Amino acid sequence: MAGETFRVVPIGVVEHADETARIRIFPEFCDGLYKLGEFSHVVVLYWFHKRDSEKERDVLRVVPKRHLAKQEVGVFASRSPSRPNPIGLCVARLVKIEGCVLVVDGLDVFEGSPVVDIKPYLPRADFVSDAKVPEWTSHGQAT
């Protein structure tokens, strides 16, 4: 299994990244948006395209930048964009869908980021009421 490769196909791209972002879904995947408008939030999986290099993929320890406590942690204990597979995840509020374009609030990405998947946010599956996190994650900017 180690060293096995997988094929990931972008389904869209972030066209505008600001407080309100626009995600253009490519025409061949647009039909997959059917009924997504019934949800208030979506989970967006995207590619950290600005960190996709051998050097960044080799990073296994980081000091998370958006937290006040500057301590080194393993990359899998962080939301760092430097990682073996530069996949990002963000929950965003779905404002509206205009054809093949999703308008969302709270998407923490760069313009031009390839989108690899969209999933509906499901509180019964995605919310964990008794989740435990280290103290250092409670301070600093939102991630």
What element of type H or E holds 56?
helix 54-57
Give the pLDDT score at 67: 62
Q: Is the pLDDT of residue 68 over 90?
A: no
pLDDT band at 116 (very low <50, low <70, confident <90, very high): very high
Using an 8 Å Cβ cutoff, are 33 and 102 in contact? yes
May I ask the CATH class of domain 10-48+86-122? mainly beta
Give the pLDDT score at 140: 58
Distances (CA, A) of 100 to 54, 65, 111, 131: 33, 34, 17, 35
Identity of residue 107 = L
Using an 8 Å Cβ cutoff, are 29 and 12 in contact? yes
Give the pLDDT score at 65: 78
Structural domain spans, the chain: 10-48+86-122, 54-80
Using an 8 Å Cβ cutoff, are 36 and 103 in contact? no
Q: Report the largest interatomic distance among the alpha carbons of the chain, rounded to a whole angstrom.
A: 44
DSSP state of 41: E
Q: Is the pLDDT of residue 142 over 70?
A: no
State the residue for tokens 């180690």: 2
C-alpha to C-alpha distance for 87 and 79, rounded to whole angstroms: 10
Identity of residue 115 = V
Supply 24's token pair: 């253009």
What average pLDDT does the structure give for the chain?
91
What is the Cβ-side half-sphere exposure of residue 77, based on CA atoms within 13 angstroms? Answer: 15
State the residue for tokens 């409670």: 138
Least confident interval from 61-70, 87-96, 118-127: 61-70
